[in-house]
Amino acid sequence: MKRRAFMTLIGGSAAWPLAARAQQSAKLPTVGFLGQSTPLGEGERAVVFAQRLREFGWIEGRTVAIEYRWAGGQDDRLAEIAAEFVRLKVDIIVTGGTPAVLAAKQATSVIPIVFATAGDPVGMGLVASLARPGGNVTGLSVLSADLAGKRLDLLRDAIPSFRRLAIMGNVGNPFIVLELGELQAAARKFGLHVDTLEIRRPQDIALALETVKGRAEALYVCQDLLTLGNRLRINTLALGTRLPVMHASREHIEAAGLMSYGPNFLDSFRRAGEYVDKILRGAKPADLPVEQPTKFDLVINLITAKALGLEVPPTLLARADEVIE
C-alpha cells in the first residue's frame, strides 16, 4: 500500500515534461527532495514527508510543488542534484544523510536546507550548534555514533558467545570515521576482538568480507549512502558465510539483515515536514533548533536468524518493536 501510495505521489510528476513542471513550480513554493538511494529504496520516506506537509495544508500540486530527485547510491550524484535544485531556484531542499547534507550546503548558503537525518551535525560542520544552527541548515540529528555501544550490547544479547566482531564502514564519509572510533572503543569495553573493514566503493564490499571469512562471528555495518545502497549485497554475502549482521535501520532488515536498532527514519522524515512548514510560513533555519530522535526501533528478522541457525532469546524478542517472520 505504501509503495503504491508513493508511485501515485511521484508517478504523475515523473511523466510531465520538465518545462510543464517548471511552469507549475514557478507558481508555487517548491521543495527539492534529494533522496540518497532510489524511489524503491526510500519511497516510504517521501510518502510520510508529503503526508505530513498535507496535514499542514501544503497539498502537492495545489499549494506546494515537490521536485523529487534520487542519487541512486552514488556520491557524485548528490552534488549534481544539489546544483540542479539551485538552478531550479527551489525554496527549500530536504534530504538526509551527512554526505547529502554537505553536498546541499556546499551548493548554496541561501536556500534553506532541512535534513531529516544527519549524524553529529555540529561536529560535521553542518550547524553552529544544536540550539542555534546559525545558517541556512537545520533538521534532525540521528545520534548514530552515540548508539554504537547500545547496538553492540543488543548483538551480545542475541549471540552471547561471540567474541570476534567485524565492523564495516565507508571511510570516505567523515562521520563514519567517527562512528568507527566509537565502535572500537565500545568493543574494547566488551572484550571483543575487532576487525575493521574499510570500504570506499561497492566493489570493496566482497573483498572486505572475504578477509574475515571463517574468523568473524558477527558483523556491524555503519550506515551511510554506500552501505544503504548496497544493503542487499552485504546481507547476501554475510548470509552466505553465516555471519549475523547488526544494522542501524529497518531498511537493512527487510533486505535479509538480522537486527537493527536506531532512530525511526520514517518518523524523522515525517518530522522534517514540520520544519518545512515553519520555513514556508516565514521561519528562518538559523532560528530552528536541531532536534533529537524521539523514537527508536529494535527490529529482528527471524527468517534470517533461522537461516543462520540462531536461536534468538525470547527475552530479546519481547523487547523488539518489530519481529519479521
b/e burial code for range 140-172 (CB count within 10 A of at least 16 → b)? bbbbbbebbbebbebbbebbeeeeebbbbbbeb
Which pLDDT score is estimated for 88? 97
Asked which of 13-27, 97-111, 198-212, 278-292 is least confident by mean pLDDT, the reply is 13-27
Domain 2-142+264-295, what fold? Rossmann fold (3.40.50)
pLDDT bracket for residue 144 (50, 70, 90): low
The 10s digit of each residue's pLDDT in 54-93 is 999 999 999 999 999 999 878 889 999 999 999 999 999 9
State the CATH class of domain 145-263+297-324: alpha beta
For the chain, give the percent of residues with pLDDT over 90.
67
What does the pLDDT look like over 145-157, one tens digit per residue? Answer: 568 889 999 999 9
For the chain, what are the domain ranges? 2-142+264-295, 145-263+297-324
pTM score of the predicted model: 0.81
Q: How far apart (Å, rounded) are the C-alpha atoms in residues 323 and 325? A: 6
Residue 8 pLDDT more than 70? Answer: no
Q: Does the pLDDT value for residue 252 go beyond 70?
A: yes
| Fold match between domain 2-142+264-295 and domain 145-263+297-324 | yes
pLDDT of residue 4: 47
**Residue showing cell 529497518:** 250
Length reported for the chain: 325
Residue pair 159/218 in contact (Cβ under 8 Å)? The answer is: yes
Residues 6 or more apart whose Cβ sits within 8 Å of residue 5:
47
Summarize the confidence of residues 154-176 as an average pLDDT: 92
pLDDT higher than 90, residue 110: yes
Q: Which of 84-93, 192-201, 281-290, 293-302 comes out lowest in average pLDDT?
A: 293-302
19-46 pLDDT per residue, tens: 445 444 457 999 999 998 888 878 899 9
Q: Tell me what the pLDDT averaged over the chain comes to.
A: 89
